Chain A
């Protein structure tokens, strides 16, 4: 029970605060006396570019997920299923790259993108995001592929399938749940990314939600944006939480296999 309270109380506070009007927001009442949706209105008002930021985040995180999955599936199939030399070294390298500090590539990439006129573009955020999402994808997918029943593929190979056919017709359909879980994990990590986006995106045109929320203004221009920020926080978090709760079993096994945020 203590654990549940520890985890949920701050989130509850976010929810409650998002329902309070600017006048009530700092009264620190644990239950809102006069709940209002005005903060949610302010989130989508003209002075905040939140709707655009949502679209940007969806596009960036979606592209990152697709690219990382596409290349990750092939690599992790090979790592989980095929016998070849240097397998463990390759796997360890992927793990090591997923632990790689993002700042180490940020400075040179920023200069490169500046020279190419790519600052404030989607691709300038998608490309650096691949550096953490692809190794993450390979690592989690490999453990999912490994856990699938070997005999099926062997049987398909015995029946004359090439490894590629065996992969497409036998393994891939069985792998859908694992791939889907990996997609959720990659999407969340890209959706939550802040450091790279904060450096690259300089105008609302390319800002993802994480950056937008940190720069929010309030209901009126002079208000403290507490309620608005909390409302926006609820909007970007609740869909994630719902998806996570629906697939919690798989997500937990994916997380513990990946061991990476």
Chain B
């Protein structure tokens, strides 16, 4: 790397002036052509389905040649009709999972990050083991925990309990929360750790000299300074948790009130010949997640792009 560096810097700069005058304009044009393909691809892959599902949701589901235009009838049906319980039930389940798993993962993740930030011996082992749950496919995680939560499985055997975990609502939900927390808390810990490592040591030193105890240092220095990284991690996790599919789909197949919005949409796509209602469901799911993200950014002032600048500086320093 250093050789290359010298090669390039060796000839003394001849035309430093030219660069300043021409770059700005041609940069814009070049940038446009470099970014265009990615934007076009995403517009086709994502824009087309979103628009077409919105359009399709405005039409009825009668079998035959021409489907009638029904306006918002599908939405009214899903939200307030006879079967509206299905939608609201799975929306409630989805938000329940999101709130509970993200809270647990944030608490455990923060604790793990604080430990990892302190530990000097065995730091490599720590970081390595933290990556293991993240690397295991969620589908495999689901199968693993499904067997662990078997009535004669390891969990009941270790705890001496006799619970049919996948048999009723709350045990199923608790099992899914535990499985998700195991898989994702380490990942949250990594995100928070990146924020912790930006805090310079001398801030703590100064506080120590001023007589602040460990609790005060955590509350008055660590928490405020790690807040941006923490909020970004929570935002990412909330949006991810609202899309939850793999775990409940394999665990209970959505039985016992563990049907999330994603499972509901997939079911309506695959097993029912109702593209209109399916379109309405997927549009509503999209809207719910979008509104949640928007509210999150507005209320808590999460600055995802700005936070990236911080991780950047961290990367340079390490």
Contacts and interface: CB of A to CB of B under 8 A. Distances in A.
Interface of A: 2-4, 6-8, 10-11, 13-14, 17, 26, 28, 71-72, 74-75, 77-79, 82-85, 87-88, 90-92, 94-97, 99-112, 127-128, 130-131, 134-135, 138, 143, 146-147, 151-152, 154-160, 163-164, 170, 173-174, 188, 191-192, 194-195, 198-199, 209-211, 213-214, 226, 229-230, 232-233, 236-237, 240-241, 244-245, 248, 251-253, 255-257, 259-261
Contacts, number: 318
A78 B30 contact: yes
Given A83-B23, A156-B8, A259 B233 contact: yes
A146 B310 CA distance: 12
Given A130-B41, A199-B266, A261-B240, A111 B275 contact: yes
Given A83-B24, A157-B23, A78 B31 contact: yes
Interface stretch (B150-158, B168-176, B213-221): B150-158
Interface residues of B, number: 114
Interface string B191-231: 10110000000000000000000000000000000000000
Given A4-B129, A192-B138, A92 B38 contact: no
B96 interface: no
Contacts of B148: 10, 13
B282 A103 contact: yes
B84 to A, nearest CB: 19
Given A7-B133, A82-B30, A105-B46, A110 B236 contact: no
B79 interface: no
B304 A7 contact: no
Contact of A99 (B53, B191, B293): B293
Nearest to B22: A157
A101 B262 contact: yes
B101 to A, nearest CB: 13
Contact of A257 (B4, B129, B312): B312
B144 A103 contact: no
B27 A257 contact: no
A143 B315 contact: yes
Given A147-B312, A163-B27, A11 B285 contact: no
B21 to A, nearest CB: 12
10 contacts: A82-B28, A103-B286, A106-B282, A111-B275, A158-B16, A194-B137, A198-B249, A211-B139, A256-B191, A259-B191
A105 B265 contact: no
A194 B245 contact: yes
B236 A3 contact: no
Interface stretch (B58-66, B68-76, B182-190): B182-190
A27 to B, nearest CB: 9
Interface in B11-53: 11, 13-16, 19, 23-24, 26-28, 30-32, 34-35, 37-39, 41-42, 45-46, 48-50, 52-53
Contact of B131 (A104, A244, A257): A244
Given A83-B24, A105-B50, A107-B275, 13 more contacts: A8-B129, A28-B154, A71-B38, A82-B28, A110-B269, A147-B312, A170-B4, A194-B246, A209-B137, A255-B187, A256-B194, A261-B134, A261-B184
Interface centre among B35, B189, B249 (most CB of A within 10 A): B35
Interface in B251-294: 261-262, 265-266, 268-270, 275, 278-279, 281-283, 285-286, 289, 293
A252 B30 contact: no
Contacts of B189: 3
B133 A230 contact: no
B129 A237 contact: no
B142 interface: yes
A71 B242 CA distance: 28
A229 B53 contact: no
Given A78-B34, A158-B16, A105 B28 contact: no
A186 to B, nearest CB: 14
B143 interface: yes
Contacts of B67: none
Contacts of A8: 129, 132
